[in-house]
Amino acid sequence: MSEVREREKVVIVGSGPAGWTAAIYAARAQLEPFVFEGAGSRTMIPGGQLMFTTEVENFPGFKNGIQGQELMMEMREQALRFGTRSVWEDIVEVDFSTYPFLLRSSGGKEVRADTVIVATGANARWLGVPGEERLAQSGGGVSACAVCDGALPAFRDKVLAVVGGGDSAMEDALYLTKFAREVLIIHRRDEFRASKIMAERALAHPKIRVLWNKVVTEVLGDEYITGLRLKDTVTGEESEVEVGGLFVAIGHTPNTAFLNGQLELNEQGYIVTPVPWRTVTSVPGVFAAGDVMDDYYRQAVTAAGTGCMAALDAERWLAHGGPEETYGTTGEPVVAEAGTEASEGS
């Protein structure tokens, strides 16, 4: 771990694929990035969601796959090799109304930053039932990403369960039919909230069976999942079903609470990037990358791609006079004269 300086050129908040890729690019551009990796919690640890994943087979460059934790450690070491500095602390408060931007960490640090890249990711929503967290963290057949893990050999020709009733659950179930013997959709109500076309597509698939009015109360299995204990939401009757994998598809919560409304967010709480194919946010000089701004793809490789973009956007904003044009030499916002437009620095 490294000590943060009073003022940094680039501060990166988050240490998943987006954060470390941004750090690699920023460090190679001699911007001396500083990364707040995070302090860790029950469901999020430094390194992001891949730290809870075993085999990663869809990240380019690893023909035989790579363990999720190993991939993140390699990214981290690559960033540090080029001079990135980091600390295992969260950013708990920001002030983007002043320039340079002010950030406060969980360890009591205050740092000023010329640019900030927010790459804090999104936290998968879990059921919170016995056995789930243990088997998810140990690679025991519980996952929140069917596209990431569904093709693994451990899930092939098994009965797989998907919990959820929205479009994501339908998409996950349909995807898993490529590999599973049967896919069970477990839903707490008697109708889906998914779009009509997605629901009809799932219901019509010969490999998909729906267990209506059911909730999971326990995930069964020691080293690997063997089944689920269910409860009927209408009758209260309990039952068990044998499965070889569980995919939780009840949504994600973007890690944006610490921003306290200082960046524009969409209805789901993801950071809005108003310029297509750019990572600029509603505050010039603040950029967003990875799952915290992506509620659609949510893949390690796309997160890494936006991390690259954010670092390049930050570098160009600094090099092209973004700070001076936007905030002036005193740090006060520049007000455009009549008939002119203030630069957005993008």
Two tokens at 183?
A: 């896919």
> What pLDDT sits at residue 67?
87
- How far is CA 13 from each of CA 19, 90, 274, rounded to the nearest angstrom? 7, 8, 20
Position 42 scores a pLDDT of 57
Cα gap 124→190, rounded to integer Å: 24
* The pLDDT of residue 147: 83
Active site amino acids: 145, 148-149
pLDDT of res. 242: 97
Give 10-residue mean pLDDT values along the chain (346 residues).
Answer: 80 96 98 92 71 80 90 96 95 95 94 97 91 91 89 94 94 95 97 93 97 98 96 97 96 92 95 95 97 90 97 96 77 49 39
CA dist 159 and 177 (Å) reads 10
Amino acid at 281: T
**Range list for CATH 3.50.50.60 in the chain:** 7-123+252-327, 126-248
Structure confidence at residue 338 (pLDDT): 38
CATH of the domain spanning 126-248: 3.50.50.60
Tokens of 180: 């599973």
pLDDT for 323: 81
Contact of 207 with 182, CB cutoff 8 Å? yes
Q: What's residue 58's pLDDT? A: 87
Please give the class, per CATH, of domain 7-123+252-327: alpha beta
End-to-end CA distance of the chain: 32
> How far, in whole angstroms, is CA 332 from its chain's centroid?
33
